[in-house]
Amino acid sequence: MRAELITTQLSNGLSIHLKEIHTAPLISSWMWYRVGSRYELPGLTGLSHWVEHMQFKGTPSYPAGKLDRLIEREGGTWNAFTYLDWTTFYETMPKEKIELAFSLEADRMVNSRFDRKEVEAERTVIISEREGSENEPLFKLGEAVQKAAFRHHPYRNEVLGEKTDLYRIQRKDLITHYKAYYSPGNALLTVAGDFDASRLMKNIHKKFDPLPAHRIQKPSVKCEPLLKKEKHVAVRGPGGTTYIQIAYRAPAGSDPDFMPYSVVDSLLAGPAGLNMFGGGSISNKTSRLYKALVEKDLAVSLGGGFQATVDPFLYIITITVNPRQSPETVLAAFDQEIDRVLEQAISQKEVDRAIKQARALFAYGSESITNQAFWLGYAEMFAQYDWFISYLDRLAAVTPGDTLAVSQKYLRKNTRVVGFYLPDSGGPRL
């Protein structure tokens, strides 16, 4: 796999990662920018997500509305995502049409229009998106838990941004953010698919060499220390279902603890996929918490997971409470199971099963050309591509002793946040 990866950097700072995959006549191209909600200042949350939206409003060469028609006419698909640490745009096209993707990305990197009317129209769209999310119990609960877990670090903020900020942000703020971060020196182009690398590089040079370079100045972000005392938060809202979220601090994606922690997650709540773009799922019915909570009719369902991030983020387990049970009873049973993990090393048999499940899910999330291009860039956002290359070997090396050490380090009551979503309509009270 290493031999297949070709890396280079243009004189303006744009990094290039290429991987030839000749299994289908397709090419997937992803443009990654090292900017997300982590780089936003107080009062300006949601800027990165809003700028992402504006990238679909066109340029003088590609007016709004023309972009969709061009991609669709050529048989391609495209989309974009904004997260904590990064923003990415992708196009998957028939191989002979990939030049269009390069033209679009090179153009909107420097020529995106921030028409005043479009900015205000998008303000309405994003606020509506935010208000729609606020009607979702798990969004409300997750936001409350996230804010309780971080006092200062920008990971406390939802990618959508605070509603007050979305009303306050002006067109000039969007343009300033765009000019600060959307440039070759802060970007990585990853391409996977059916191409000849030498020929493709000539096309890339043609499209991206003329783009100007400029210095990137990012705000200093300090990692936040662990909580010293357990926090409980309660959120009320519509619906008839009670939820519990337990959030422990998780290591950064590049931390050696990340791999044994992912095995602990698989063992406790079932394997969670790292590919945010998609890639299948595996039943969690063999997990410890499923047996302790769902099979004993304390919970209707549960799930866990965490993402690879630049700084330590959160490992969150979400429990849908059985309506015949109280949140306190469910949390007590949850804690009993966590105590068992902390007191005794997980058996080799359980570790082997958890590793097997995590391996399978990793494979599901790596099989398509689009997913391969995703991984070329995603791993670079918090580590290096070697992180992806060595993933399975490092996973197989995890021992029961590793899982015990990581559990005792991170799964501590005094450093966690417990959140409760309590329905307005006659649900339980704490």
pTM (2 decimals)? 0.94
Asked whether residue 422 carries a pLDDT value surpassing 70, the answer given is yes
d(CA 244, CA 233): 10
Q: Which of 83-114 are b and which e, b meaning 16 or more Cβ less than 10 Å from the residue's Cβ?
A: bbbbbbbbbbbbeebbebbbbbbbbbbeebbe
Instruction: State what percent of residues in the chain have pLDDT above 70.
Output: 96
Residue 315 belongs to what H/E stretch? strand 314-321
Give the pLDDT confidence score for residue 276 in this predicted structure: 60
Phi, psi of 258 (to 5 degrees): -60, -40
Domains of the chain: 2-208 (3.30.830.10), 231-423 (3.30.830.10)
Model confidence pLDDT, tens digit, residues 185-204: 999 999 999 999 999 999 99
What confidence tens digit (pLDDT) does each residue in 87-145 have?
999 999 999 999 999 999 999 999 999 999 999 999 999 999 999 999 999 999 999 99
What whole-number distance in Å separates Cα of residue 111 and Cα of residue 61?
9
Separation CA 301–CA 293 (nearest Å): 8
For residue 70, name the pLDDT band (cuts at 50, 70, 90). Answer: confident
Taking the CB of residue 16, how many other CB atoms lie within 10 A of it? 21
340-366 per-residue burial string, b: 16 or more CB within 10 A, e: under 16: ebeeebbeeebbebbbebbbebbebbb
Q: Residue 283 has which token pair?
A: 């039943």
CB count in 10 Å sphere of residue 395: 19
The predicted structure's pLDDT at residue 365 = 66
pLDDT digits (tens, 9 = 90+) for 257-315: 999 999 999 899 987 767 665 555 677 888 999 999 999 999 999 999 889 999 999 99
Kindly report the number of other CB atoms within 10 A of residue 20's CB atom. 16
Q: For tokens 């918490």, name the residue.
A: 289
Question: 65's torsion region: left (phi>0), alpha (psi -120 to 50) or beta?
Answer: left
> Which alpha helices (DSSP H) does 170-233 contain, by range?
171-181, 197-208
CA 317, 323, 324 angle in degrees (round to 5)?
Answer: 115
Residue 131, both tokens: 């208000």
